[in-house]
Amino acid sequence: MTGTSVHLAVYDTFADWEPGFATAQLTDHGHTVRTVGLTTAPVTTMGGVRVQPDLALAGLAPGDSELLILTGASLWDTGDTLDPFARAARDFLDAGVPVAAICGATAGLAREGLLDDRSHTSAVSFYLAATGYAGGAHYVEADAVTDAGGASRGALVTAGPTEPIAFAREIFELLGVFGPKKLDAWYRLFHDSDASAYEELNE
């Protein structure tokens, strides 16, 4: 990874609660989070929040990034508007730069053929099966999954729509935000409401 920024894709109807756990901690630990839209025109999230993208997708190069995050959005299931983001994910993975996709974005990657030979998860297996993709044998029943990719391909994180905390955990491990002990403490604190993990996280 040669980039210095994490790029968060933003588009109309994007599920604004899904990347929040990840982006908050990434920012707190020295990573720069930049938003990327189809253009630099403002978009409106599913929660009604207006977001001004930092840059347009055409200006995003994998070499300038540590990670591309794709969130869910109703647009993933209602047409081809977001297909350019799935193609960008292919460019990232081919360049050895990781991608993290949650909720409906996993369907976008499935339609692009990016899940055909990688371990992955999503909301439920039949949601992805409806895309007609060829990767059903690689579907994993888990909150979140990281496929390491290998020497010539970037790692790929996938998660279902109810798992933003597990999604964040995979991203933190991938980017080395926390060591194993603190990563476990962070997950127990936010996922399990384990108050005892707070002290471990702040040691």
Residue 103 among the catalytic residues: yes
Residues 6+ apart with CB under 8 A from 96: 1, 62, 149, 151, 152, 153, 154
Q: List the catalytic residue out of 10, 86, 103, 109.
A: 103
Q: Which helix (H) or strand (E) holds 35?
A: strand 32-37
Residue 197, classed as helix, strand or coil, is helix
Residue 22, classed as helix, strand or coil, is helix
Which residue blocks in 63-196 are alpha helix, DSSP H?
83-94, 104-111, 125-129, 164-175, 180-192
Integer CA distances (angstroms), 2 to 30, 62, 87, 105, in order: 15, 9, 20, 24
Integer CA distances (angstroms), 72 to 90, 124, 177, 179, 199, in order: 17, 14, 23, 28, 33
So which residues are the catalytic ones? 103
